[in-house]
Structure 1
Amino acid sequence: MPVSIRVNGTSLSLVHKFSTGVSIATIPDVCKTPSPGGPVPVPYPNIANSITLSNGTSTVKGDKAMAANKGSKFALSNGDNAGVAGGVKSSTFMKEATWILYSFDVKMDGKNATRLTDKMFHNAENAANLGGVLQNPVIVAALGQELGDQICTAICDTRDEADEGTIPSKKYPTLQSRVASKLSSGFPLYKPKKLDLFVEMTWKIAKRVGGTFVGIMSEGRALSNGLPAPGSLFRGLAAGRGAPGTTFRPDFTVLKDAAKPANFDNVKSFVEVKFKGDTPTANQQLAKERLGAKNAGKYQQIEESDCACD
């Protein structure tokens, strides 16, 4: 479900049951684990998702769903499943994630609303996520109205073509490839029509959370402003061949300044387009996680339902 409600700032989206929020403990979840010599403490990862939200709002909704507020929780966590003797502090495993931070001036059902990047305790306060919840920021805040409208127009036109049965096709094997072609020269080079909007550009995923992504660029081609052009689709695929989980290719890369090179510092947003029934790939999910809370605003997923197509 799209996230359309902003709470404070310019892109902090409201956490609700269907906001696809994920909280990953940055402090290990140390749980006692059975061994032949008796239980031993073992550090585990711990991950909780907004789909398990409970004790949230009942009268006020966010995007027609239960919203997260102070006192609510992600009721189930995973990663410490083997620590059946319980956390060293909580004596539990796979238990709830609860809020450390929240908005101080925005309330829902009389309690403080929670947002993208707000920190959480994990496994009944046995661990914590000090990086904050990850989920999509609000679209207009992340992309701007003009670009958001252009991408949504391409999405809606593509949906019409799909309903007419003209795509998918040999030329456009996926709906996303058709959307990408509407805003570029098309397969396989996807030469951009706008110098601040690169299409199907491949990026090397950072090796650690919060690290730098590196764009795969052409060795010989240049854009009209003289800067290096993104590598072709084939060059991007070759860079990632044999190394699963090292690259991802967002549908669009939006730059902050078209007059500057397409490097990570100049990236405003990586945009993924999803139609009904689509789910993020493993590499897309990894990229989102590696961006971390610091760069959470750089990852934007636009769903067909966001665009209010007729």
Structure 2
Amino acid sequence: MPVTIRVNGTVGSLVHKMSSGITTATIPDVCKTPSPGGPVPVPYPNIAQSITLTNGTTTVKGDKVMAANKGSKFALSNGDNAGVAGGVKSSTFMKEATWILYSFDVKMDGKNAARFMDKMFHNSENAANLAGILQSVVKDLGLDADEEAMANKLCEEFCKDLAKGHVKGPRGGWSRDSSSSGNWSYELESRLSNPQSSAAREIQKLGGLITQQFTRSYGVLIPDVVLAVGTDAAGVPIVKRCFDFKFPGDRWRKTQKLRQQKLANGNKPVKINAKNCDC
């Protein structure tokens, strides 16, 4: 899920349950490990992920899910699995990662918000990550609040369909599943133009029009989705920004990008793809 909330800075993204945050201990997790001669201390790596976030916010959400704040934790860690006799300090293994640093002036549910690059303890304070948690930064696509809300919703729906017929490689890239076929952009547009779809209704509330809806009404070929701000004297929607779905293998065609920019009065179109959406 893309992270859309900044905390203290241009790239200081909020950590939440779906922010794909990963923290890796830079100080080894030294745990007592069974051996024929008795337990011996062995240094282990230790990794925890934001998907295991617990004790976070309950009334305030970050991108619609629980956000990390002071007192929250990543409930599970891995890497020290063999150190079953426990850490030399904590006497535990595979336990939680907790916050060393957090924002001092931004609070959520009355507690300090946790951010990209904040430092963490690991395995019940038996180790620590002094380099800070890593996750996606907030992308700046030059959009205003309305356009950003539209992009976020389209990304949410795009990532759902991407996962249906594509596989994510070890380096993060996506490729089409050998068993899948079809026009993914068209199928997504069809789903989002269905008036019975809750996603379609939400996009409409945000001011969005899907290509298929627009072309049926006005006979004009336009991008996959547009954000409209009212209509002109002829009743044709005035386009503020164009959004185009780009599944793996798809790219801008010749003058497509320029035509979309012209349609939106000079505003550059937004590519809705796996990279921009952090799928």
Shift in Å, 1:302: 2.0
> Counterparts of 1:38 and 1:272 in 2: how far apart (Å)?
57
SS in 1 for 2:31: strand
Q: Aligned partner of 1:176: which letter?
A: P
> Counterparts of 1:2 and 1:84 in 2: how far apart (Å)?
36
Shift in Å, 1:303: 1.9
Q: Aligned partner of 2:97: which letter?
A: A
Q: Aligned partner of 1:164: which letter?
A: Y
Q: Is the 8 A contact 2:13 2:136 kept in 1?
A: yes
Residue in structure 1 matched with residue 184 of structure 2 by the alignment: 162
Using the size of structure 1 for normalisation, the TM-score is 0.52
SS in 1 for 2:133: coil
Shift in CA distance, 272/24, structure 1 to aligned 2, threshold 3 Å? farther
Consecutive unaligned residues in structure 1, runs of 5 or more: 166-173, 186-192, 194-270, 275-300, 306-310
Shift in CA distance, 183/34, structure 1 to aligned 2, threshold 3 Å? farther
CA RMSD of aligned residues (A): 3.4
Count of matched residue positions in the alignment of Structure 1 and Structure 2: 180
Shift in CA distance, 176/63, structure 1 to aligned 2, threshold 3 Å? same
Q: Does 1:137 align with 2:137?
A: yes
> Counterparts of 2:80 and 2:137 in 1: how far apart (Å)?
29
Residue in structure 1 matched with residue 172 of structure 2 by the alignment: none
> Counterparts of 1:304 and 1:88 in 2: how far apart (Å)?
38
Using the size of structure 2 for normalisation, the TM-score is 0.57
Q: Does 1:177 align with 2:151?
A: no
Shift in CA distance, 52/304, structure 1 to aligned 2, threshold 3 Å? closer
Aligned counterparts, 1:23-172, within 5 A: 23-140=23-140, 143-145=141-143, 162-164=184-186
Residue in structure 2 matched with residue 8 of structure 1 by the alignment: 8
Shift in Å, 1:177: 1.8
SS in 2 for 1:51: helix
SS in 1 for 2:51: helix
Q: Aligned partner of 1:112: which letter?
A: N
Shift in Å, 1:164: 3.0
Q: Is the 8 A contact 2:247 2:273 kept in 1?
A: no
Shift in Å, 1:176: 2.0
1:83-131 CA distance string (max 9 Å, x none): 0000011000000000000000000011000000000000000000011
> Counterparts of 2:23 and 2:272 in 1: how far apart (Å)?
21
SS in 1 for 2:43: strand
> Counterparts of 1:184 and 1:39 in 2: how far apart (Å)?
66
Shift in CA distance, 273/43, structure 1 to aligned 2, threshold 3 Å? farther
1:265-297 CA distance string (max 9 Å, x none): xxxxxx9942xxxxxxxxxxxxxxxxxxxxxxx
Q: Is the 8 A contact 2:70 2:114 kept in 1?
A: yes
> Counterparts of 2:15 and 2:143 in 1: how far apart (Å)?
22
Shift in Å, 1:183: 7.3
> Counterparts of 2:272 and 2:43 in 1: how far apart (Å)?
34
Question: Percent identity, aligned pairs only?
Answer: 68
Q: Aligned partner of 2:10: which letter?
A: T
The structure with the largest alpha-carbon Rg is: 2
> Counterparts of 1:273 and 1:47 in 2: how far apart (Å)?
29
- Moved segments of 4+, more than 6 Å: none
Shift in Å, 1:182: 1.2
